[in-house]
Amino acid sequence: MAEMMYWQGILRAHDEEMARDPLVFAMGEDIGVAGGTYKATSGLFAKYGEQRVIDTPISENSYTGIGVGAAMIGARPIVEIMSVNFAWLAMDQLMNNAAKIHYMSGGRIRCPFVMRVPGGTAHQLGAQHSARMEKVFMGISGLRVVTPATPRDAYGLLKSAVRCDDPVVIIEHESMYNLKGEIPDEEFFTPLEGVEVMRPGKDVSIFAYNISVHWALDAAQKLAQDYGIDAEVVDLRALKPMDRAGIAASVRKTHRAVVVEEDEAPVGVGSEVMAILNEECFFDLDAAPVRVHALDVPIPYNRHLEKAAIPNAGEVVAAVRKMLGR
What is the tally of helices (H) and strands (E) in the chain?
12, 14
Instruction: Give the C-alpha separation, 193 to 141, whole Å.
Output: 15
Residue 214: name the closest of 254, 175, 161 by CA. Answer: 175
Residue 21: count other Cβ atoms within 10 Å of its Cβ. 13
- Active-site positions? 60, 129
Q: What DSSP string describes 203-260? A: SEEEEE-TTHHHHHHHHHHHHHHHH---EEEEE--EEES--HHHHHHHHHHHS-EEEE
| 12 φ/ψ angles, rounded to the nearest 5 degrees | -60, -40
Instruction: Give the C-alpha separation, 294 to 157, whole Å.
Output: 26
